[in-house]
């Protein structure tokens, strides 16, 4: 009897796992990337940060083989904190061309009515929007650390 119960549970669990819907972006072909939301501007030390973040999100959408443009499914990034490296560190790194930033926030996916479909917390310390040294091939695009992380998260939602 107990064995029967265990077998029933296993069958039910595997059926549920197999039949469960995929990520929120499973059947999505196109995403609209909205402006970055900055709730606390005093925690963002770079006036370009919001635009850079959106640029990377657009790039990550492309990397995930999704089209970007007007669409019912929308994505945006809620930026909680953005800090560029200090001047002292920049001086130490002078000559490398690398610019390290710390980004804290969450990636939000919404449907046409504005209902939140997914929200993923993201913390990255690395390059944002431009990564020197990766893009010397005219036909390839340099991938920053932040873009790479966003790409991974979007892939998980597919």
Residues at the interface with another protein (CB under 8 A)? 48, 51-52, 55-56, 58-59, 62, 68, 94-99, 129-130, 132-133, 135-139, 141, 147
Closest approach of another protein to the CB of residue 136, in Å: 3
- Picking from 35, 52, 143, the residue whose alpha carbon sits closest to that of residue 103 is 52
Closest to another protein by CB, 52 vs 109, is: 52
Closest approach of another protein to the CB of residue 133, in Å: 7
Closest to another protein by CB, 59 vs 73, is: 59
Closest approach of another protein to the CB of residue 2, in Å: 57
């Amino acid at each position: 009897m107990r064995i029967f119960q265990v077998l029933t549970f296993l069958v039910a669990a595997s059926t549920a796992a197999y039949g469960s819907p995929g990520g929120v972006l499973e059947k999505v072909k196109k995403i609209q990337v909205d402006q970055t939301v900055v709730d606390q501007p005093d925690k963002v030390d770079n006036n370009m940060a919001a635009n850079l973040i959106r640029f990377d999100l657009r790039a990550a959408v492309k990397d995930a083989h999704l089209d970007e443009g007007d669409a019912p499914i929308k994505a945006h990034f809620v930026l909680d904190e953005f800090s560029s490296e200090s001047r002292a560190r920049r001086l130490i790194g002078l000559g490398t061309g690398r610019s390290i930033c710390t980004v804290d926030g969450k990636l939000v996916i919404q449907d046409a009515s504005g209902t939140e479909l997914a929200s993923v917390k993201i913390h990255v310390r690395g390059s944002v929007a431009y990564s020197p040294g990766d893009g010397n091939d005219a036909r390839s695009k340099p991938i920053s650390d932040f873009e790479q992380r966003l790409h991974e998260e979007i892939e998980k939602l597919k």
